[in-house]
Chain A
Amino acid sequence: MTGIDAIAARLRAELASDQVITDRQQLRTYECDGLAHYKVVPALVVLPRTAAQVAAVVRACAEAKVPFVARGSGTGLSGGALPHAEGVLIVTSQLREILSISPADERAVVQPGVINLQVTQAATGYGYYYAPDPSSQQICSIGGNVAENSGGAHCLKYGFTTNHVTGLQVVTPDGDLVRLGGAAPDTPGYDLLGAFVGSEGTLGVATEVTVRLTRLPETVRTLLAAFRSTDQAGAATSAIIAAGVVPAAIEMMDALSIEAAEAAVHCGYPAGAGAVLIVELDGPAAEVEAQFDEVSRLCDENGAFETRVAADDTERQLIWRGRKSAFAAVGRISPDYIVQDGVIPRTALPEVLRRISAVAAEHGVRVANVFHAGDGNLHPLVLFDDAVPGEAGRAETVSGAIIDLCIEYGGSITGEHGVGVDKARYMPRMFSDDDLDTMQLVRCAFDPGGIANPGKVFPTPRLCGERPGRRQGAHPLHETDVAEVF
């Protein structure tokens, strides 16, 4: 009996029959996440319903030295939940209880399979919400958000998942249930919570998440400003930041992405716009009004030829609809596309955009730009037609060149989608060997056997338990055939 067969047999005895999947056809359902061009059929899928069951699955993996991958809703865009062919895929979708909502403590405790938006929906009645709002918030899970440190349109002001998670219960790669952080702030000891959030499933599986709830703002004002060029829109963004205003969001779309959104959802953005900015301010009414006037003025001064203000929630939704649909909308104007995610210092925006368009022109590829302009997080959409020989390759080249630009300008290879399997090869361009080795020290502390989501984030893992420069002979992991999977 192989390791996997033994695990399957053991789990069948402990769990209900519909929680353990070995049928090849059913396994195929889980072969990819949101980055669908990477596909691996897992050897076994398990759907635990309790934290104890997650721990039992991981313990079985640890004892058999079999890798495991955790998956939430499978909306990730870096292949972080790509299964392992000889491993177990732990799907957290059955762990979907909101365990408590405590407005007085400004906390909610939820299971990892709870959908991001459900937390906000559960808290709204009390006057609170869960601030991180990735575009996929209607379907993505909190557990996945924790793994990826998900952001969203409003993280310019409110921060990311890591700023809103105060406590976790996790299953370590040994199969132990451990609490990191808690409902109160500043838990003594190393901030392992901070290291765990965003570790992309390589340090364990979150089984319970304590999140901070944020008071709903008194007022929200949303403005759409149309410019002739992205340079003008970029200048307006700089002026807003320079004026000391920190909006909840500043989003930018260029002409091509506006065209796509128009074709898909008829958002009715001003005709002839080379770029639009969506600026949202929230907070106490008196503050927002004063800042709103200033933002409007700064947009006008920087060349906005039309400015629209959402009069109510419906108009606000309409303004956002174009932006939030942008990724999918690109499908209307191109058969295939790559969603890129990189970060640059915001002030480099005009220069980087010019260089992106130069690279795109050089390779004869179209690039639609959508970005969180306030924090320099770019989401260029590289368009291609896979049916045309050579186009996919050229699109890949342009997409890679954009990442190189982000690194060249002192930014990051990923702002919110994660490294996953897709960008592990770029990590050595952003970090030195010693930097990556240091991250591996944490990995080795949590997962000395290297069984938690191997092959993600890091191009070459450290072999734990050995000091550098003293390596001799074959590593035990090689001998047991585990190391090849890295």
Chain B
Amino acid sequence: MSVLDDLANKAGDDDTVCGVPARLVAAPATTEEAAALIAETRDLAVVIRGSGTTLHHGPPPRDLDLIIDTRRLAGVVEHAAGDLITVVRAGTPMAELHCLPGQQLALDAPPSATAGGTVAANTSGPRRLRYGTARDLLIGITVVRPDGRITRAGGKVVKNVAGYDLGKLYTGSQGTLGLITECVFRLHPVPPATSFVRAIAPATRAADVLAGQFAASALEINAAPGADPEIAVLLEGTEAGVRDRAAALAGLLDGEVTDEAPPWWNTPPWPDGGLGLKLTCVLSAVPALVTAAVDAGLTVRGSAGTGVLHAGGPVRPASADEAARLVGLLRAAATTAGGHAVVLTAPDSVRDRLDMWGPVPGLELMRRVKEQFDPDHRFAPGRFVGGI
């Protein structure tokens, strides 16, 4: 009996990707099983699915036969506390990694998101200001290539320059280069004290926070048409240190010190099925980009400390034309601000009309990389930049 017969089930009604139905779903439990499955299904178009947190992001696949579900590939393989690293299978929920004994994987992804999905989608949140993103925290990776070969890059030590840093290439590659089955992450100690400082203040004040000596772990803004703009800062450290810094920062921003994050913290500013964009820019251009998004009628929030914002509308665009106009407007504003605008999600009715990824530099090299890894274009075809 073949691995495919053994593992795959007929797809159900919910087994779709951006409205495209799959024929089969398979959930391998080990790297070896996944490799056998992938080697045996060379004529099938594949989309990888973790817990589905970001499955609705990006353009729909051009073809889809098989969904490879990673949730059986779960569990922490190793937590070497003294070395501040952990080895986890790709389907492990982030909730397990947010609270390892005394330590944490400091990546703000939804608790239900899988580790592999978080890496593949390059999900990040407020604390990226202090801890960086998946590319900074991933130190080793196991990937099953589209030809079924099991390959590893990096290792189990943080400092390591042996060979190409392929972990970074796989990070954010949206499942187009192969199946991530195992990740090694760098961990951080759980800080003894945390505190938030919240203020009603425009995004322009974020620069004052960065110029000070507050060592903020996160610096977030929230702005929406007709509402007061807000700034919220997360401080982490020792009890005394956090107390002093929080008091000084509250004074600077005329804000308040609280134990709780604001309700909008690390949440997308769009409803399910709505239009959601990721906007990036240089730090000095954050206020201008925020203004452009708010003027366009969108709510915008995110990391003013790193220049990564999310924007979305409480109201769904009335038409595809309206959505395309909004995206064009924000893309122009982000480009002026030195960054990019990527449409993460959009109503199914307007998706076809949108260039979700927009123009990217180095596209020709990216196509060549894809050609090398997946010459038959069977992994998430059409889901990535430039139709990759």
A residues near B (Cβ < 8 Å) are 102, 104-107, 127, 148-149, 151, 155, 159-160, 162-163, 172, 178-180, 182-195, 197-199, 215, 217-218, 238, 241-242, 244-246, 283-287, 290-291, 343-347, 372, 375-377, 410-419, 423, 427, 430-432, 434-439, 441-446, 457, 467
Tell yes or no: B153 within 8 A of A by CB.
Answer: yes
In contact, B159 and A377 (Cβ under 8 angstroms): yes
**Whole-angstrom CA separation of A188 from B308 in the bound complex:** 12
Tell yes or no: B166 within 8 A of A by CB.
Answer: yes
Q: Which 4 A-B pairs have the closest CB atoms?
A: A194-B168, A244-B189, A184-B339, A287-B241
Q: Collect the chain A residues with CB atoms within 8 Å of residue B365's CB.
A: 172, 178, 180, 192, 445-446
Which residue of B156, B164, B358 is within 8 Å of A442 (Cβ)?
A: B164
In contact, B358 and A188 (Cβ under 8 angstroms): yes
In contact, B368 and A446 (Cβ under 8 angstroms): yes
Q: Collect the chain B residues with CB atoms within 8 Å of residue A102's CB.
A: 282, 284
Given contacts A185-B306, A195-B164, A415-B159, 5 further A-B contacts (CB under 8 A): A244-B102, A376-B159, A415-B157, A427-B163, A435-B151
**Whole-angstrom CA separation of A291 from B158 in the bound complex:** 23
**Whole-angstrom CA separation of A431 from B149 in the bound complex:** 14
Which A-chain residue is minimally distant from B82 (CB atoms)? A347
In contact, B153 and A435 (Cβ under 8 angstroms): yes
In contact, A343 and B361 (Cβ under 8 angstroms): no
Which A-chain residue is minimally distant from B171 (CB atoms)? A191
Which residue of A215, A242, A432 is within 8 Å of B82 (Cβ)?
A: A242
In the complex, chain B residues 225-283 whose Cβ is within 8 Å of any chain A Cβ: 237-238, 240-241, 244-245, 278, 280-283
> Number of B residues contacting the other chain (C-beta, 8 Å)?
89
Rounded to whole Å, the gap between the CB of A363 and the closest CB of chain B is 25
In contact, B159 and A372 (Cβ under 8 angstroms): yes
In contact, B283 and A244 (Cβ under 8 angstroms): no
**Whole-angstrom CA separation of A427 from B161 in the bound complex:** 11
In contact, A434 and B207 (Cβ under 8 angstroms): no
Rounded to whole Å, the gap between the CB of B165 and the closest CB of chain A is 5
Q: Collect the chain B residues with CB atoms within 8 Å of residue A194's CB.
A: 135, 165, 167-169, 171
Tell yes or no: B188 within 8 A of A by CB.
Answer: yes
Q: Collect the chain B residues with CB atoms within 8 Å of residue A149's CB.
A: 161, 165
Q: Collect the chain A residues with CB atoms within 8 Å of residue B358's CB.
A: 188
In contact, B241 and A189 (Cβ under 8 angstroms): no
Which residue of A178, A183, A238, A467 is within 8 Å of B362 (Cβ)?
A: A178
In contact, B282 and A107 (Cβ under 8 angstroms): yes
In the complex, chain B residues 178-215 whose Cβ is within 8 Å of any chain A Cβ: 188-192, 207, 210-211, 213-215
**Whole-angstrom CA separation of A102 from B281 in the bound complex:** 14
Tell yes or no: B75 within 8 A of A by CB.
Answer: no
**Whole-angstrom CA separation of A436 from B307 in the bound complex:** 36
Rounded to whole Å, the gap between the CB of B369 and the closest CB of chain A is 4
In contact, A442 and B122 (Cβ under 8 angstroms): no
**Whole-angstrom CA separation of A427 from B85 in the bound complex:** 23
26 residue pairs A–B, Cβ–Cβ below 8 Å? A105-B282, A151-B159, A182-B339, A185-B308, A186-B308, A187-B340, A189-B385, A190-B369, A192-B365, A195-B165, A345-B85, A347-B80, A347-B82, A375-B157, A376-B157, A377-B159, A410-B157, A412-B157, A430-B162, A435-B151, A437-B149, A438-B149, A442-B164, A444-B372, A446-B365, A467-B375
In the complex, chain B residues 125-169 whose Cβ is within 8 Å of any chain A Cβ: 132-133, 135-136, 143, 145, 149-153, 155-169
In contact, A190 and B155 (Cβ under 8 angstroms): no
Rounded to whole Å, the gap between the CB of A148 and the closest CB of chain B is 7
In contact, A284 and B237 (Cβ under 8 angstroms): yes
Rounded to whole Å, the gap between the CB of B66 and the closest CB of chain A is 22
**Whole-angstrom CA separation of A319 from B364 in the bound complex:** 50
Which B-chain residue is minimally distant from A417 (CB atoms)? B161
